[in-house]
Structure 1
Amino acid sequence: MTAPIHTLSNGLRVVADPLPGVRTFALTLAVEGGARFEDERRSGWSHFLEHLVFKGAGDMSARDIVERIEGEGGTINAATGYERTSFEVRALAHSLPLAVRVVAELVRRPTLDEAEIVREKDVVAQEIAEAFDTPDDHVFEMAQARAFEGQALGRPILGSVDSLQPIDRAALAAWAGRLYSPDRMVLAASGAVDPDQLVALAEAAFGDAVSQPTVRPEPARFQGGAATLSRRIEQANLVFQLPAADAHDPILPAQRLFVEILGGGMASRLFQSAREARGLAYAIDAYGETYEDAGVLGVFAGASADRAAELAELTAAEIVGLAERGPTDAELARAKAVLSAGLFMSDESLAARAGRLAVQTLIYGAPVATETTDARLRAPGASEVAEAGRRMLSAGRAAAAVLGPRAAGPAARAFERALFAAA
């Protein structure tokens, strides 16, 4: 069964997922809004705002916010992505009223103190510098920039020092009003939670909030291309990407199986061929990123610079081979078992449940039962998995990024040449 949705008059949706026998709850407030909703001059503002609300909200100082939650044994956190911003609280059952009240204050009545804005610009500048200094973080930004060049999806979620510079209290308050609009919010709680109580708390905390118009993101366009950055480090960091299915595409379950078979674990094709058989990489794995109207299949690997191009060619060959010939029966069975197990394991995490309920409601309009998702993952056959791969290749575009010693640079173009020459 799926959890029912209660919608407030202003459009905010409330989803309760009571579970017997537990003494804690997980609460998630998910907002349909993030870095993808920004224009270039406001790049990073959503993430910056998420930082600022924790510096004071309502009658609470920065210290009060965490002390009120932690004083009752709970935890509070937040995250900003391209399409969503989320606030999360974990606590004992009796703390649900406090959790809803604190989260509501963060998004509805942030203090946005000018002195804190100045200080936080320095903090985020350090975060930006840290990401740049971390090769296996920065290489993902490089690949994303090539995949979605000139678009919000291609810019770092953190923004840049220059794009954050114009922020002042008035500008940030206006951005908060647009971003944290109740009709684009879902409040979900899982665990020791009473549905009627949660709805009443939501009504009291959010009921008088007024929805604000927002500009929808432009449709995503996977561009592709190669990026290299030479640094004097020991290992080359590589990311390869292909355009993939969006969150609403019926081929998505088959694509998820394709990703798992390609590089989802130690039994995957890439791990066995690149690491075990040829020793080309210590770490290599495939992943999928799914957006409302776009998607990415990616491969990350670390390799010695002098073998980076060889690894790129092998990666391309494995992608093409799986797309052309499909998986074996054993590979398909393993992938289905792994994804199914992961799905039901996450069902045993209150935080995962609450987060999933909120996000699915934003994307699909309602939560999707775990059993339904499992059935969809188990349905595709080998031919459907192969078709998912062929569809990704049919665009004729790929993005590649290489960060490391200069000798590794040719791997970026080697991936694209091998991929489409083989295809």
Structure 2
Amino acid sequence: MTPKVHTLPNGVRVVCDPLPGWQTVALSVVAGRGARFEDKARSGWSHLLEHMVFKGAGDRSAREIVEVIEAEGGNINAATGYERTSFQIRALKAGLDLGASVLGDLVLRPVMDEGDLEREKQVVGQEIAEAADTPDDLVFELAQQAAFSSQPLGRPILGTPKSIGAATTRTLSDWRAALYAPETLVVSAAGAVDEDELLRLAEREFGGASGGGLPAAEAATFISGSKTVARKLEQANLVLLLPAVGVQDPDYFALRLLAEILGGGMASRLFQEAREARGLAYAIDAYSETYADTGVLGVFAGCEAKNAVELAQVTAREIQGLTRPVPDAELARAKAQLKGSMFMGRESALARAEQAAGQVLLFGKTLDPEDPAAEIDAVTPAQLAALTSRILASRQAAVAILGPRAALGAAESFEQALFN
């Protein structure tokens, strides 16, 4: 059954997805705002805020927030992305009332203490430092900077020590009111949930939410460029990005299939050619990253520095090869993989709750899972070839390379092989 969507008088939307026979419930409160809505001075504030609300909310201390949930057999988590922030609870079915109370406090009634804020700035500072010390984290950050330079999408979600250092409890409280405004909030539950009870709890906890005024995110523009960092590592880390389409584009599922065929699994073209046939890399895969209005087609690889240039050239040729119609059997396999991933994900209550919230934020409604499956089945070899040609016609690429100096030339080699 397609989950039902209700709207509270103040604009908060509520999604109920009951699953008969389940003994657990997943509750997500998702704000359709994140790091993409920050200016440079407030870079990282959405993530810092996500940390801060757990230091105390309502009449519960930081310890009590987690203890009351775990005492009922549940767990609690949160995540900040570019376009949304999510607070999540998994619990036994009797824990819905408590879960709603805790999430309501976190989102709307956090206690902002100066001492906690200064300590949490140190914690986030360590998180920033850890990302800088982790090659396969840093290389993706560098690629994002290269693709969306001087734009919110090009800044790290964690922010910088300078930008998070500027936050105060007052400015962070104001940011919370703007970020978690009622028209941006979706309360979504899946599993052992009763619709009437969920609506009662949503009204109790979120019916009084107010605030707003945050402007829409600025349009993103993909920019060609490269970020290369020489570092003494055992392997070179490469991320190769091309401009693609957003989640609302008619070619969205074609993009997902392109990534699957290019490097989505062990039968993919890059895995078979770069790893199995040539032994150029142990790890190589392709992926698509999509936002509301734009996206990227990406390839990540880890290889010996001496193989980086050849690997980049092989990747370029495999991408070019997708301008020709793919064989029916290859496309059928990619469709099966994509649909399998989609339906398997729906066997998790939390994934269902998060997915439904995301659909409401993007489309104003939830989608029947058979509809995306039908769209996947409808993609043709000609459509994939046309999308690849459309991507390459921009003659744009963003490349990040982190590793031994001998690997850094792969950035130029990739662009030359791809466009010349």
- With the length of structure 2 as denominator, give the TM-score of the two structures: 0.99
Correspondence for 2:395: 396
Q: Which residue of 2 aligns with 1:359?
A: 358
Asked if structure 2 preserves the Cα contact closer than 8 Å seen for 1:237 and 1:402, the reply is yes
Contact 2:253 2:376 in 1 (8 A): yes
Aligned to 2:58: 58
Would the aligned equivalents of 1:10 and 1:211 in 2 still touch at CA under 8 Å? no
Aligned to 2:279: 279
Report Cα offsets for 1:59-113 as digits up to 9, x if no partner. 0100010001001010000000000000110000110011111001001111111
1:101 aligned counterpart, secondary structure: helix
Aligned twin of 1:372: 371
Distance in 1 (alpha carbons) for counterparts of 2:390 and 2:351 = 31
Moved over 2 A (4+): none
Name 2:160's counterpart in structure 1.
Answer: 160
C-alpha distance in structure 2 between counterparts of 1:110 and 1:307, whole Å: 51
Distance 1:403 1:261 in 2: 26
CA distance in 1, matches of 2:234, 2:126: 24
Secondary structure in structure 1 of the residue aligned to 2:91: strand
- Paired letter, 1:106: L
- The gaps in structure 2 that reach 5 residues or longer are none
Give the secondary-structure state (helix, strand or coil) at the position aligned to 2:322: helix
In structure 1, what residue type is equivalent to 2:349? L
3-state SS of the aligned residue for 2:216? Answer: coil
Q: Which amino acid aligns with 1:389?
A: T
Contact 1:231 1:405 in 2 (8 A): yes
Rounded to whole Å, the distance in 2 between the matches of 1:277 and 1:322 is 19
- CA shift, 1:387, in A, is 1.2
Paired residue type of 1:44? G
Match of 1:89 in 2: 89
Q: How many Å separate the matches in 2 of 1:113 and 1:320?
A: 55
**Which string of whole-angstrom CA distances, capped at 9 and with x for unpartnered residues, describes residues 278-306 of structure 1?**
00000000011110111011000001001
Equivalences for 1:23-172 in 2 at 5 Å?
Answer: 23-172=23-172
Residue segments in structure 1 that go unaligned for 5+ positions in a row: none
1:255 maps to which residue?
A: 255
**Identical-pair percentage:** 57
For this pair of structures, how many residues does the alignment match?
420
User: 2:212 maps to which residue?
Assistant: 212
Q: Secondary structure at the match of 1:212?
A: coil
The alpha-carbon deviation at position 245 of structure 1 amounts to: 0.7
Cα separation, 2, equivalents of 1:26 and 1:4: 16
- Asked if the contact 1:258/1:386 (under 8 Å) is kept, the reply is no
- Distance in structure 1 (CA, Å) of the matches to 2:257 and 2:125: 39
Write out per-residue CA displacement over residues 138-157 of structure 1, whole angstroms, 9 at most, x where no aligned residue.
00000000100010000000
AA paired with 2:246? Answer: D
Shift of 1:309: 0.7
What one-letter code is carried by the residue in structure 2 that aligns with 1:401? A
Counterpart Cα distance in 1 of 2:185 and 2:366: 14
Q: CA deviation at 1:326?
A: 2.2
Structure 2 counterpart of 1:277, which letter? A
Q: Matched residues in 2 for 1:40 and 1:166: separation?
A: 11
Where does residue 326 of structure 2 map in the other structure?
A: 327
Match of 1:54, SS state, is helix
- Name the aligned partner's letter for residue 415 of structure 1: F
| RMSD over equivalenced CA pairs, Å | 0.7
Q: Secondary structure at the match of 2:149?
A: coil
Q: Distance in 1 between matches of 2:97 and 2:325?
A: 52
**CA distance, structure 1, for counterparts of residue 114 and residue 88 of structure 2:** 26
The yes-or-no answer on 1:406 pairing with 2:418 is no
TM-score normalised over the length of structure 1? 0.98
